[in-house]
C-alpha cells in the first residue's frame, strides 16, 4: 500500500520573522484593558450619581430608567471590549490555553475572525438599541432629527449584522466541509508498482484530511442530525439495508476466505471479481466445485461487497429461483418479474446441481438467463461445470442457457476437500 508522506518543510526564516510580528499587537490588547478600566470607572461614577439622586429624593422615574440604561450601555461596551481583547488575542496573537478552564467563555472554543465579526456586529446592535431606547425614553429632550438618525443608524447596524451573519454561514460551512477528499498521491517521484490484486475491501473513499472544526457558534446541528447528514454514516446504513434485503443465507466476507485451503483455486480471478468490475460490465461469475469448498462463501462475499459498493443484490438457491419464476409465470407476469429484477445489478443463484429441474422449470431458467444476458450480472454456484448441466436441467434449451451464461463469465473451479468435513475431522481429532 502506498502511504502518503507529509513533507515537513522548515518554515522559511523570513516568513517566520513576519509571523512573529503578531506580537506587536499584544500591547494593543493591553491598551484595550486600560480602556476597560476607564469604563469601570465610568460605570461606578454613574452608579454613584444614581444612588445619590435616589437618596436625596430627586430621582424621577424617567431619570432612573435612563441612568440604568446608561449602566447597561457601559456594561455592554465592556462586554464588547472583553470579546475583542480575548478573542482577538487568541485569534491573532497567541493561544491563551483556556481549554478546560472553569470560566472559559462558551464562544472562545470556536472563535475565529468570522465569529468575532458577527459577535461584534451583534454587540453593536445591542448597544445601539440601548441608545435608541434612551432616546425614546427621554423623547421630550431629544430632537426629531436625532431620533430619525438614531433609528436609521440602528437599522443600518441591524442590516450589516444580518449580512455578516449570513456571509459567515457559507464560509463556516466551507471550512466545516472541505472539498471532496481526494485519494492521497504518493509523494515519491517514481510511483511504486501496483500491488497484486488481492481480495481486500472495495476502495472506500479515505479522507486525507480531517474536517476543520465547526466555525460558527450557532446554529450547531445536533449530533443525531450530524450523523444523518454525515455521508459516510448514511452510506453504511444504506449498505446494511441492501445486505438485509439481499437475502444472503449467511454473512460471509471475502477476507475470511482461507486461500490456502483449496488445492486448486484461481486466486487472481477471485481478486479480479472482488473489484466488482464484472458487475458494472454486466458479466457473470460461476463457481464450480464439490460441496463444502467455499462456493457459497465466495458468492456471498462478492454479494456483500457489491452491497457495500451501492449495488442492489438478491441471493437465493436455484430451487428458490425456480419457484419464484414458476409463481410469476403462473400469475401471467413473468415478463414483469424479469423486468423488475433488472433493478438488481447482481443476482446470485446458489446450489445448481442439488435439485433436478423438469423441462418447464428449465424453460423458465432459460428465459431468466436470456433476459439477464448483458442486462445484469449473475453469480451461479454449481457442483458441476456448465458443460454437464444437462444432468441437472432437462429440455432442448439447456445448451443455449449455459452458452449465454458463460459467454461473459469468469469461471472459478474450486478443488478441495470439504472445508466443513476437514474442520469437523480436526475438531474430532482434537
The residues of the shown chain that bind ligand ADP, judged by CB under 6 A, are 252, 256-258, 261-262, 289, 291-297, 381, 419-420
Count residues contacting Mg ion (CB under 5 A)?
Answer: 1
CB of 295 to ligand ADP, least distance (A): 3
Cα–Cα distance, 110 to 214 (Å, whole number): 7
CB 296 within 8 A of CB 382: no
Residue corresponding to grid cell 461469475: 285
Closest to ligand ADP by CB, 114 or 381: 381
Closest to ligand ADP by CB, 218 or 260: 260
Closest to ligand ADP by CB, 200 or 291: 291
CB of 393 to ligand ADP, least distance (A): 19
Closest to ligand ADP by CB, 72 or 271: 271
SS3 284: strand
The yes or no reply on residue 317 touching Mg ion (CB under 5 A) is no
CB of 347 to ligand ADP, least distance (A): 17
CB of 372 to Mg ion, least distance (A): 21
Q: Which three cell numbers stand for residue 216?
A: 460558527
CB 43 within 8 A of CB 19: no
Cα–Cα distance, 26 to 89 (Å, whole number): 7
CB of 249 to Mg ion, least distance (A): 8
Cα–Cα distance, 62 to 138 (Å, whole number): 7
Task: Identify which of 292, 290, 295 has the alpha carbon closest to the alpha carbon of residue 273.
Answer: 295
Q: Which three cell numbers stand for residue 158?
A: 441591524
CB of 407 to ligand ADP, least distance (A): 24
Q: Which does 297 bind (CB under 5 to 8 A by kind): ligand ADP, Mg ion, none?
A: ligand ADP
CB of 367 to ligand ADP, least distance (A): 26
Closest to ligand ADP by CB, 216 or 302: 302
Q: Which three cell numbers stand for residue 372?
A: 439477464
Q: Which residues contact 310 (CB under 8 A, 6 or more apart)?
A: 235, 238, 239, 242
Cα–Cα distance, 384 to 286 (Å, whole number): 10
Q: Which does 252 bind (CB under 5 to 8 A by kind): ligand ADP, Mg ion, none?
A: ligand ADP
Task: Identify which of 227, 210, 218, 214 has the alpha carbon closest to the alpha carbon of residue 173.
Answer: 214
Q: Which does 258 bind (CB under 5 to 8 A by kind): Mg ion, ligand ADP, none?
A: ligand ADP
Q: Which does 294 bind (CB under 5 to 8 A by kind): ligand ADP, Mg ion, none?
A: ligand ADP
Q: Is 104 exposed, middle or buried (0-12, 13-18, 19+ CB in 10 A)?
A: middle
Closest to Mg ion by CB, 80 or 414: 414
The yes or no reply on residue 168 touching Mg ion (CB under 5 A) is no
Closest to Mg ion by CB, 296 or 367: 296
Stretch that binds Mg ion, among 185-193, 232-240, 293-301, 352-360 (CB under 5 A): 293-301
The yes or no reply on residue 293 touching Mg ion (CB under 5 A) is no
Q: Which three cell numbers stand for residue 33?
A: 484593558
Question: In the chain, how long is the greatest CA-to-CA distance?
Answer: 117
Stretch that binds Mg ion, among 27-35, 165-173, 292-300, 354-362 (CB under 5 A): 292-300
The yes or no reply on residue 296 touching Mg ion (CB under 5 A) is yes
Residue corresponding to grid cell 459467454: 407
CB of 351 to ligand ADP, least distance (A): 7
Helix count and strand count (H, E) for the chain: 16, 5
Closest to ligand ADP by CB, 119 or 295: 295
Closest to ligand ADP by CB, 285 or 328: 285
CB of 261 to ligand ADP, least distance (A): 4
Q: Which does 291 bind (CB under 5 to 8 A by kind): ligand ADP, Mg ion, none?
A: ligand ADP
The residues pairing with 382 across neighbouring beta strands, listed in sequence order, are 288, 352
Concatenated DSSP letters of 70-107: HHHHHHHHHHHHHIIIIIHIIIII-----TT-TT--GG
Q: Which does 242 bind (CB under 5 to 8 A by kind): Mg ion, ligand ADP, none?
A: none
Measure the CA angle with vertex 383, ends 244 and 276; round to 5°.
Answer: 45
Q: At what angle do helices 295-308 and 267-274 cross, to 10 degrees?
A: 30
CB of 295 to Mg ion, least distance (A): 5
Q: Which does 292 bind (CB under 5 to 8 A by kind): ligand ADP, Mg ion, none?
A: ligand ADP
Positions touching Mg ion (CB under 5 A) are 296
Amino acid at each position: 500500500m502506498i502511504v502518503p508522506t507529509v513533507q515537513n518543510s522548515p518554515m522559511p526564516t523570513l516568513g517566520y520573522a513576519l509571523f512573529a510580528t503578531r506580537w506587536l499587537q499584544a500591547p494593543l490588547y493591553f491598551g484595550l484593558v486600560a480602556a476597560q478600566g476607564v469604563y469601570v470607572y465610568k460605570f461606578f461614577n454613574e452608579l454613584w450619581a444614581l444612588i445619590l439622586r435616589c437618596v436625596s429624593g430627586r430621582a424621577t422615574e424617567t431619570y432612573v430608567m435612563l441612568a440604568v440604561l446608561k449602566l447597561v450601555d457601559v456594561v455592554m461596551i465592556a462586554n464588547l471590549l472583553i470579546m475583542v481583547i480575548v478573542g482577538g488575542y487568541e485569534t491573532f496573537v497567541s493561544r491563551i490555553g483556556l481549554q478546560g478552564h472553569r470560566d472559559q467563555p462558551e464562544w472562545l472554543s470556536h472563535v475565529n475572525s468570522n465569529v468575532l465579526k458577527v459577535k461584534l456586529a451583534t454587540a453593536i446592535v445591542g448597544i445601539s438599541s440601548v441608545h435608541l431606547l434612551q432616546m425614546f425614553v427621554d423623547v421630550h429632550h431629544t430632537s426629531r432629527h436625532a431620533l430619525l438618525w438614531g433609528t436609521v443608524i440602528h437599522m443600518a447596524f441591524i442590516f450589516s449584522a444580518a449580512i455578516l451573519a449570513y456571509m459567515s454561514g457559507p464560509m463556516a460551512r466551507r471550512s466545516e466541509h472541505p472539498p471532496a477528499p481526494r485519494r492521497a498521491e504518493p509523494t515519491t517521484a517514481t510511483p511504486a508498482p501496483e500491488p497484486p490484486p488481492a481480495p481486500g475491501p472495495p476502495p472506500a473513499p479515505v479522507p486525507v484530511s480531517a474536517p476543520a472544526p465547526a466555525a460558527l457558534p450557532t446554529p450547531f446541528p445536533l449530533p443525531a442530525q450530524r450523523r444523518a447528514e454525515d455521508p459516510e454514516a448514511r452510506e453504511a446504513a444504506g449498505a446494511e439495508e441492501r445486505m438485509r434485503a439481499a437475502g444472503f443465507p449467511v454473512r460471509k466476507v471475502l477476507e475470511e476466505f482461507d486461500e490456502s485451503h483449496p488445492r486448486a483455486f484461481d486466486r487472481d480471478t477471485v481478486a479480479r471479481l472482488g473489484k466488482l468490475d464484472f458487475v458494472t460490465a454486466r458479466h457473470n461469475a460461476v463457481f464450480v466445485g464439490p460441496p463444502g469448498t467455499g462456493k457459497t462463501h465466495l458468492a456471498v462475499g462478492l454479494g456483500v461487497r457489491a452491497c457495500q459498493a451501492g449495488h442492489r443484490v438478491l441471493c437465493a438457491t436455484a430451487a428458490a429461483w425456480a419457484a419464484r419464476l414458476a409463481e410469476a409465470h403462473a400469475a401471467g407476469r413473468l415478463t414483469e418479474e424479469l423486468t423488475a429484477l433488472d433493478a438488481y445489478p447482481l443476482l446470485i443463484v446458489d446450489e445448481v446441481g442439488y435439485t433436478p429441474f423438469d423441462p418447464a422449470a428449465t424453460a423458465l431458467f432459460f428465459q431468466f438467463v436470456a433476459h439477464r444476458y448483458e442486462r445484469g450480472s449473475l453469480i451461479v454456484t454449481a457442483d458441476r461445470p456448465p458443460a454437464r448441466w444437462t444432468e441437472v436441467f432437462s429440455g432442448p434449451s439447456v445448451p443455449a442457457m449455459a452458452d449465454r451464461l458463460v459467454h461473459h463469465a469468469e469461471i472459478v473451479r474450486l478443488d478441495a476437500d470439504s472445508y466443513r468435513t476437514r474442520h469437523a475431522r480436526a475438531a474430532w481429532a482434537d
